[in-house]
Amino acid sequence: MIVKSAEFICSNTQVSKLPPPTRPEYAFIGRSNVGKSSLINMLTSKKGLAKTSQTPGKTQLINHFLINDDWYLVDLPGYGYARISKSKKEDWDKFIRTYLDKRESLQCVLVLIDSRLEPQKIDLAFCNWLGEKGLPFVLVFTKADKQSSIKTDQNIAKFKKELMATFEEVPQCFVTSSENKLGRDEVLAFIDTVNKNFSEI
């Protein structure tokens, strides 16, 4: 897939105010500081499309970006925020989960995992929640340029092993780097394939 256009459409905390569910949507979510904004900017080749920040938890809204006038890339707040109140965290969790569970046009959740880390309980818990809800998702391992490919492979293998305790099969995995565009073609090709199925419905 060639990304010809990428434009910001809206930010919301209310699912009722989202764009009409007439185009396929792909939700990007991960732990705070996983490199989500950088990955989105890399995929779309637009440096300032998603706001990057040194402060974890900067994305606090559901952000819709229209890609190629054809599908929505949805930037969701990270889980495991740093400096916010418990009540606010619960509010965010509620609206994120409502969006994921109720959005008719959501095709897939792309769960971002920091490839440098051993399996994190919060990532595994979120994947298990998606599994319980029957929501399709894939794993996108980020920051692969920050270490050796051997170390990345080891951490991915450990994560898959943990998931196999609760899943019959592990979802599709992508290894990415926002720095050197590793995985860009593969992620976009995956979305392109799902889009074709959507248009045939």
Domain of residue 95 covers 6-200
Q: Is the pLDDT of residue 91 over 80?
A: no
Q: Whole-structure pTM over 0.85, yes or no?
A: yes
Paired with 177 in beta bridges are 182
Residue 69 lies inside a defined structural domain of this protein: yes
What Rg value do the Cα atoms of the chain yield, rounded?
16
Residue 1 lies inside a defined structural domain of this protein: no
**pLDDT score of 159:** 98
Overall domain count for the chain: 1
Q: Specify the residue for token string 């732990």.
A: 31
How much is the mean pLDDT over the chain?
90
**pLDDT score of 89:** 66
Residue 19 lies inside a defined structural domain of this protein: yes
Which residue did the predictor score with more confidence, 176 or 61?
176
CATH code for position 127: 3.40.50.300
Q: Is 169 left (phi over 0), alpha (psi -120 to 50) or beta?
A: beta
At 48-64, the pLDDT tens digits run 888 765 554 455 789 99
